[in-house]
Amino acid sequence: MSLSTLLTEKRAIVCVGTGGVGKTTTAAALGLAAASLGRRTMVLTIDPARQLARALGLATLGRVGEPVDTKGFAAPGLLHAGMLDLKASWDAFITRHAPTPEVRDSMLANPFFQKISTSFAGATEFMAIEELCRLDESRAYELIIIDTPPAGRAIDFLRAPERLEKLLAPEVSKWILGRKGGGALQLMTGGARFLVHQLERAMGTKTMGELSGFFIALDAMFGDLSARAARGRALLTGSETAFLLVVAPTEAELTGARELSDAMRQLGAPLRGTIANRVHPLPGPLEVPEVRVQEVVRAAEADDACNAWLEGAWRDGRALARLERERLEAFSRTVPTDTAWVEVPELDRDAHSLADLARLAGLLTNPR
């Protein structure tokens, strides 16, 4: 399976990986590659927008998607880029799903909603998935490439719908709203009052009022929210979505990547490809005796500091390339077979322009 095949056949590509491995840049380059393959493509980033904006040569990125001028790169398709605006997305989401204007207004004004919507663990992930669903439903694009939040929280991306459902579990809102159900619930009410009383002492009555207001509004929206969470999960684990792992060949990142890859398999969304960025090629032939290197270095007729630096540059370059090779081979044995595997050599600079992205796109789709 090649990346070109995935870019041609899938409807959604999710780039995952630990932070600082060029994930956002890779997502942008994949977008350009897909556009070159003739697809109407949208790249949605979550990381601070400046990175992708810079790489795409855009000053600002809108939530909906700014068209990228790909003329000059012979892209017969289309490329749009956008970034997630968390607060705006949540507010729009509530506006879309609130059953009445009263519920909408009470939700938008609720301090708990305002805090939770932008800060609960998984808030970003949930909204990114929601935007992915919306883009998918709009049918404006044939392929949506989505970047995920960085660092060890990549797995939250798959767990976000489940987390939201937990928060929305009907028993929770029923309980806080004081509705009386069967015997068990009846029995709990006394204890529940006690808990609420304690929470009031801890947080103040006003806060408790706001908290129950939040749950009352949530309760009114429960059906819709739950359906959206289910829709997101279905899209992520469906056959039209492919998860690509972006990784750098360092010990720490490959360890993190292995855990991520295992967790994803368990969640029913196995990796469909790996992109190893920043791989250092081995300088020189496989075996070189030390004494011959010193002989070459002497040809520089330089001082001791320069000689030591030259030898160091050679030795470090070789050591690094060998280490990376060993690590990548060990890691490649842990990913599912029949998945894409592309190694991108360390480039002499970060992607600053569309031309840089086009070069990267070429390396991704036509690996050596």
Partner 1 sequence: MSARLRATQVTPPLQVVTGKGGVGKSTFAAALALAAAKAGKQVLAIELGEPGGLSALLGTRPTEHGIAVTAAKNLQLAWYDGEAALADYIVRFLPFGARLRPFFSHPLYRAFVSAGPGVRELMAIGKVRDELLGLSSGQPPWDLVVVDAGASGHTLQVLGMPAATASTFKSGLAHREAARVAATLSDPAVTEVHVVARPEVMPLDEAAEVIERLRERRLPVGRLVLNQCRPVPPGGAEEAIARVGRARSDELGRSLVAAATRELVWARLQEEGIASLERRVAKPALRLPRLLTATFGRAELEQLATLVADEVKP
Question: Does 153 help bind partner 1 (rule: CB under 8 A)?
Answer: yes
Q: Which of 1, 64, 116, 216 binds partner 1 (CB under 8 A)?
A: 116
Question: Does 277 help bind partner 1 (rule: CB under 8 A)?
Answer: no
At 190, the amino acid letter reads G
Closest CB 306 distance from partner 1, rounded Å: 4
Nearer to partner 1, 234 or 296 (CB): 296
The neighbour count for residue 277, using CB atoms within 10 Å, is 24
Q: Which of 182, 191, 286, 329 binds partner 1 (CB under 8 A)?
A: 191
Pick the stretch among 95-103, 130-138, 262-270, 290-298 that binds partner 1 (CB under 8 A): 290-298
- As a whole number of angstroms, the distance between CA 193 and CA 47 comes to 43
At 181, the amino acid letter reads G
Question: Does 21 help bind partner 1 (rule: CB under 8 A)?
Answer: yes
**Token duo for residue 29:** 């380059």
- As a whole number of angstroms, the distance between CA 107 and CA 102 comes to 8
Is the sign of the CA dihedral 288, 292, 298, 300 positive or negative?
negative
Length of the chain: 368
Nearer to partner 1, 7 or 61 (CB): 61
Question: Does 181 help bind partner 1 (rule: CB under 8 A)?
Answer: no
Task: For residue 182, give every residue at least 6 positions away whose Cβ sits within 8 Å of its Cβ, in sequence order, or none.
Answer: none
- As a whole number of angstroms, the distance between CA 307 and CA 313 comes to 10
Site size toward partner 1 (CB under 8 A) is 76
Question: Does 150 help bind partner 1 (rule: CB under 8 A)?
Answer: yes
Q: Which of 101, 299, 338, 368 binds partner 1 (CB under 8 A)?
A: 299
The helix/strand/coil state of 120 is coil
Question: Does 309 help bind partner 1 (rule: CB under 8 A)?
Answer: yes
Question: Does 18 help bind partner 1 (rule: CB under 8 A)?
Answer: yes
Q: Which of residues 76-115 bind partner 1 (CB under 8 A)?
A: 111-112, 115
Q: Which of 1, 5, 19, 64 binds partner 1 (CB under 8 A)?
A: 19
Which helix H or strand E contains 42, and what residues bound it? strand 40-45
**Token duo for residue 194:** 């006690």
The neighbour count for residue 181, using CB atoms within 10 Å, is 12
Task: For residue 342, give every residue at least 6 positions away whose Cβ sits within 8 Å of its Cβ, in sequence order, or none.
Answer: 3, 273, 274, 275, 276, 363, 364, 367
Pick the stretch among 76-84, 167-175, 260-268, 358-366 that binds partner 1 (CB under 8 A): 167-175
Closest CB 274 distance from partner 1, rounded Å: 16
Q: Which of residues 33-52 bind partner 1 (CB under 8 A)?
A: 48, 51
Question: Does 207 help bind partner 1 (rule: CB under 8 A)?
Answer: yes
CB 18 within 8 Å of CB 263: no
Pick the stretch among 76-84, 86-94, 179-187, 301-309 that binds partner 1 (CB under 8 A): 301-309
Q: Which of 323, 341, 362, 367 binds partner 1 (CB under 8 A)?
A: 323
Nearer to partner 1, 96 or 206 (CB): 206
Task: For residue 117, give every residue at least 6 positions away whose Cβ sits within 8 Å of its Cβ, in sequence order, or none.
Answer: 86, 87, 90, 91, 123
CB 214 within 8 Å of CB 136: no
Q: Which of 88, 187, 195, 230 binds partner 1 (CB under 8 A)?
A: 195
Q: Which of residues 212-271 bind partner 1 (CB under 8 A)?
A: 248, 250-253, 255-256
Question: Does 198 help bind partner 1 (rule: CB under 8 A)?
Answer: yes
